[in-house]
Chain A
């Protein structure tokens, strides 16, 4: 790790000012950034620590949405009664991230801002059509995840909360990479209150994406068989030591079917 300055921000405004001033990076739970720094893959001159900012905390219902503060930790979300009662798929997803240490430190906002291609939270954000709330405004989920480690966030823009519309049904099924246990493929399936279906896929491409063929098929019939019948194109999917694009394409269909099956 290279030497760096650490600034503990008192408020979102303070953090934003400090980021603008230093060109530094915000630090939430540090579960990706600190690891990258230890490997000398990241070299921020300044870290602005968001963990002490009260306004980034909390879980609340706002109208028809469940709003989760950006620095809520995975373990807190997994255990939150409000989440379990309103969108249990989010609690399941949060409880399956990393290991206990990661869940106790890592935050939802950090994960979304990082846009790791194999992270779980982006699948929920996109799968539910959530709103990413920042100090500068609001981003719709569609269009937020731009690519590998790339989002629509500006350089001194800080996520403050994520608003999830409460669906009729939703489920997330993850197929773990045998080594890292990140999502080799993860599929988030949601049926909104109006019956619209969204299917978001993580782990399979440079960034989370919606799978239109699955959405179309499941909109017609929200059944596992309907999902299974969809042939997923491997074009554009990632290939690595653990999975070829073809295998990932196949898993998307299998996991979508299993997600739907879990809701019946």
Chain B
């Protein structure tokens, strides 16, 4: 694009933030070094489940450089960490919410559970001293599987949650589903494990907490996705501090994928301790610590059934899921396998009756919470694996089974609470099939067979509910927070603009996308717009970034503020041009008297607002600075079809992803380059789940066996193919940008597409069912078992 171009919607504008990231001049939490700061180290439980008989910190306190040592007993008056979503069970009772102490009290419940905070002059001194904290543990039997945890006689994680049950919850019309199954011509069934994942953002969690005695105020720098939510939960629920005396800054943040949404024990303990110590405290997690302290993702065990008529039309779906909550309820843990999961089980299909029952269990594992997609990848996996199986069972091609059941009339009310506003599922399927060259697949498969290799093709036609969320609907479903977003547009006297958004960018490129929205709306160059985020001291109260909500909700809040700016600008221009306000038109950065060539530029109007010498001061305040809060009226529904092609070496079990095509409908697109980058990253994560990533705990000891990158396989560049991506657009009907969100789609569609491809390939050798990840060992075993 040329310099100073203003109409930049839909243009691949280079990311404004990249200059600092590529030159190493970003400011991450660990780059913050306040004067006189100390260093924190958290002593963590080495056991999955143990009673703390005694803690003696005296040797640690006397160690070189140690400033203070705190244990659970020291945190008097500090409440437990809260859960932000109340799920009410099928029995009408609220979920079990056992206490989640900031530092362990009485018991430890997972490997990595924080037991003591050591503050010292250097990180090494803190770590050395932590080895001198004597903890007398009485080791208890542990349970790590959510299925085992619910069995009678399983070790009890919390006294407050008998049988380790958090809740049993259901959605949908069970009677209608039972009736439909009774008259079905065919039922397809599957048992599915959605494997537990460890997030691993490139920047580990970090925090720097300070206390200013003169102001009686706290400042917390923290690698976090939603600083206002962090502050609200920490001050109001845990520490009982006045909210206005705590400033939370989430500066540059190196990825989150959900794992940095939550209020964690570490930063909470540090804020509390900063006042006791009287000096700033700094902490950055080591990677090994991240593995045992960042909230994990997924971990569902599901039985699902799909009833069809003789032509393969879906009549009903029945789903039973057991979800692992881990040892404690993380901030949004309870809503992930319920509100963000069961509501998506209609997928892109007209299935008239759906019933889903979910039981959530506590185990001696790291808490589980939202991870890129959060409930929706799990739902898509259930639906699309079932649809694949249905196609196989009904002897219909994978596109035909889908086409027979696609929703084509909008708005569409699903039987699981959501109302899809718009969509175009055939268009995405058609384009994905073209990108994937489905027509040439048979020849490629035959050629691979000559080399002794098995080729398979897998489809996933996913849908997600994004743009979280209408606060009233969320509230009715148990949310303990609003889900609006805030934006402030501050026009400077010379006409440049600073935008303050409640959204938070930790890799998404908001500084560019949002600037494009503002530049295009105001008719000013994109270079004249800066975006500020991640600081409760600067931006209005916002809800942050997760659930692919930032453009649809945060962007819309900015648009609402821009509307106010333009409305006021029109008044100012009317005064300057001595015309009626209703005659003023605003386009291309100019306020014009309709039907004339008399106009004032946006810059002239901005200057007048701040130098109000010729200004209707009796009717209008000076200045050009507007704030808006936007609460969406519905979710947005990004959808698309992903098609994966794999080639399997039956001799070794190695699965190679040879091609991956994705056609997504994200609504209107502001920056196609950024969207494509989001899709690539999401697909890599989705392929990672399906092919490589496997969080494994030892069933007896509860030790995390996949506790480092030596054993936990993240996808590398050579594990994924060069993606073929396309988009189709049905604009969202209920936000002014027509945007739906794109951040999670890749991770939602890819696992199902990939595993369907693996099953397609392995059908040739008789393999019926294989769980993720499709590791060489697992594939080889499945082939061997099928041949035996």
B83 at the interface (CB under 8 A from A): no
Q: Is B756 an interface residue when CB atoms closer than 8 A count as contact?
A: no
How many whole Å from B787's CB to the nearest CB in chain A?
13
Q: How far is the CB of A63 from chain B (nearest CB, A)?
A: 39
Contact of B710 among A1, A175, A180 (CB under 8 A): A180
Contact B709 A180, beta carbon cutoff 8 Å: yes
Contact A241 B711 (CB under 8 A): yes
User: Which chain A residues lie closer than 8 Å to B694 at the CB level?
Assistant: 241
**B652 to chain A: which residues have CB within 8 Å?**
175, 251, 254
B696 beta carbon closer than 8 Å to chain A: yes
Binding site for B on A (CB under 8 A): 1-3, 39, 175, 178-180, 182, 241-244, 247, 250-251, 254
- Contact between A241 and B709, CB atoms less than 8 A apart: no
Name the CB-closest residue of A to B691. A178
Q: Once the chains bind, are B780 and A241 in contact (CB under 8 Å)?
A: no
Q: Which of A3, A175, A251 has the most CB of B within 10 A?
A: A251
* Least distance between B752 CB and chain A CB atoms (Å): 21
Nearest B-chain residue to A244, judged by Cβ = B777
Q: Is the CB of B288 within 8 A of A242?
A: no
Nearest to B128 among chain A residues (CB) is A2
Select B288's contact among A2, A39, A243, A247, beta carbons within 8 Å.
A39
**Chain B window 698-712, contacts with chain A (Cβ cutoff 8 Å), 1 for yes, 0 for no:** 000000011001111
Bound form: Cα–Cα A174–B128 in Å: 40
Assembly CA distance A242 to B776 (angstroms): 8
Q: Are A243 and B777 in contact (CB under 8 A)?
A: yes
Known A-B contacts A39-B288, A179-B712; the reply to A242 vs B775 at CB < 8 A is: yes
CB distance from B80 to the nearest CB of A (A): 31
A179, A182, A243, A254 — which one has the most chain B CB atoms within 10 A of its CB? A179
Q: Bound complex: CA of A251 vs CA of B652, how far in Å?
A: 7
Q: Return the contact of A179 from the options B288, B709, B780 (Cβ within 8 A).
A: B709
Give the residues in chain B near A179, CB-CB below 8 Å: 692, 706, 709-713
A3 / chain B contacts, CB cutoff of 8 Å: 124
Distance (whole angstroms) from the CB of A261 to the closest CB of chain B: 12
21 contacts between A and B (CB under 8 A): A1-B124, A2-B128, A3-B124, A178-B775, A179-B692, A179-B706, A180-B709, A180-B710, A180-B711, A182-B710, A241-B694, A241-B705, A242-B777, A243-B777, A244-B777, A244-B781, A247-B653, A247-B777, A250-B780, A251-B652, A254-B651
Closest CB-CB distance, A21 to chain B, in whole Å? 26
> Are A241 and B706 in contact (CB-based, < 8 A)?
yes
* CA gap between A180 and B710 in the complex, in Å: 4
Residues of B within 8 A of A244 (CB): 777, 781
Known: A254-B651, A254-B652. A178 touches B713 (CB 8 A): yes
Smallest CB–CB gap between B287 and chain A, Å?
10
CA of A242 to CA of B694, assembled, Å: 10
Count residues of chain B with CB under 8 A from any CB of chain A: 21
Q: Which residues of A contact B288 (CB under 8 A)?
A: 39
How far is it, in angstroms, between the C-alpha of A182 and the C-alpha of B708 when the chains are bound? 14
Q: Min CB distance, B505 to chain A, in Å?
A: 29
Closest 3 CB pairs of A and B: A179-B713, A178-B713, A180-B710
Residues of A within 8 A of B709 (CB): 179-180
Write the nearest CB–CB distance from B779 to chain A, whole angstroms: 10
Contacts of A178 in B (CB 8 A): 692, 713, 775-776
Interface residues of B in 416-463 (CB under 8 A from A): none
- Cα distance A251–B692 in the bound complex, in angstroms: 19
Considering only CB atoms, which chain B residue lies closest to A118 in the complex? B710
Report A-chain residues with C-beta under 8 Å of the C-beta of B651.
254
Inter-chain CA distance A221–B39, complex, in Å, is 65
Q: Are A247 and B124 in contact (CB under 8 A)?
A: no
Contact partner of B780 (CB less than 8 A), chosen from A1, A182, A247, is A247
A264 to B776, CA, bound (A): 27
Name 15 extra pairs, CB < 8 A, besides A241-B706, A247-B653, A251-B652: A2-B128, A175-B652, A178-B713, A179-B706, A179-B709, A179-B712, A179-B713, A180-B709, A180-B710, A182-B710, A241-B694, A241-B696, A243-B777, A244-B777, A247-B781
Which of A1, A175, A247 counts the most B-chain CB atoms under 10 A from its CB?
A247
A244 to B653, CA, bound (A): 13
Name the CB-closest residue of A to B710. A180
B contact residues around A175 at 8 Å (CB): 652, 776
Task: Please report the C-alpha to C-alpha distance between residue A83 and residue B633 in the assembled complex, in whole angstroms.
Answer: 69
In the bound complex, what is the Cα–Cα distance between A180 and B781 (angstroms)? 21
Shortest Cβ distance from residue A98 to the other chain B in the assembled complex, whole angstroms:
12
**A241 CA to B653 CA in the complex, in Å?**
15
Q: Which residues of B contact A242 (CB under 8 A)?
A: 711, 775, 777
Q: Which residues of B contact A2 (CB under 8 A)?
A: 128
Q: Which of B101-139 contact A (CB under 8 A)?
A: 124, 128
Looking at A39, A242, A243, which has the most chain B CB atoms within 10 Å of its CB? A242
Give B545 Cβ to nearest chain A Cβ, in Å: 30
Residues of A within 8 A of B124 (CB): 1, 3
- Closest Cβ of chain B to A97, distance in Å, is 15
A244 to B776, CA, bound (A): 11
Residue among B128, B696, B775, B776 with most chain A CB within 10 A? B776
A182 to B705 alpha-carbon distance, docked (Å): 17
Complex-state Cα separation, A76 to B42, whole angstroms: 42
CA distance A89 to B189 in the complex (A): 50
**Shortest Cβ distance from residue B749 to the other chain A in the assembled complex, whole angstroms:** 22
Chain A residue, CB-CB nearest to B712: A179
Complex Cα distance A247/B778, Å?
Answer: 10
**Residues in A neighbouring B777, C-beta threshold 8 A:** 242-244, 247
Q: Mark B292-318, 1 if CB is under 8 A from A, else 0.
A: 000000000000000000000000000
Q: Who on chain A is nearest to B719 by CB?
A: A178
Give the distance to chain A from B195, nearest Cβ to Cβ, in Å. Answer: 13
Quote the shortest CB–CB distance from B289 to chain A (angstroms): 11
Compute how far the CA of A243 lies from the CA of B776 in the bound complex, rounded to whole angstroms. 9
**Which A residue's beta carbon lies closest to that of B773?**
A178
CA distance A250 to B710 in the complex (A): 23
B105 to chain A, nearest CB (A): 27
Residue on B with the closest CB to A247? B777
Bound complex: CA A243 to CA B713 (Å): 14
Docked complex: B730-788 residues within 8 A CB-CB of A: 775-777, 780-781
**In the complex, per-residue mask of B670-703: 1 if CB is within 8 Å of any chain A CB, else 0:** 0000000000000000000000101010000000
Interchain CA distance A1-B128 in the complex, whole Å: 9
Bound: A3/B64 CA distance, A: 13
Shortest beta-carbon distance from A198 to chain B in Å = 23
Contacts of A39 in B (CB 8 A): 288
A3–B127 Cα distance when bound, in Å, is: 12
User: Closest residue to A248 on the B side, CB-wise?
Assistant: B777
Which residues from A are CB-within-8-Å of B776? Answer: 175, 178
Residue of B nearest to A39 (CB): B288
A27 to B652, CA, bound (A): 37
Interface hits, B344-367 → A, CB 8 Å: none
Within the assembled complex, what's the spacing in Å between the Cα atoms of A254 and B776? 13
Residues of B within 8 A of A1 (CB): 124
CB-CB under 8 A from A241, the residues of chain B are 694, 696, 705-706, 711
A1 to B122, CA, bound (A): 13
Write the chain B residue with the least CB distance to A181.
B716
Q: How far is the CA of A116 from the CA of B653 in the complex (A)?
A: 25
Complex: A242 Cα to B705 Cα, angstroms? 11
Distance (whole angstroms) from the CB of A147 to the closest CB of chain B:
20
Taking the closest CB of chain B, its distance from the CB of A41, in whole angstroms, is 11
Cβ of A180: which chain B residues have Cβ within 8 Å of it? 709-711
A2 to B709, CA, bound (A): 22
Q: Give the distance to chain A from B292, nearest Cβ to Cβ, in Å.
A: 14
B residues near A250, Cβ cutoff 8 Å: 780
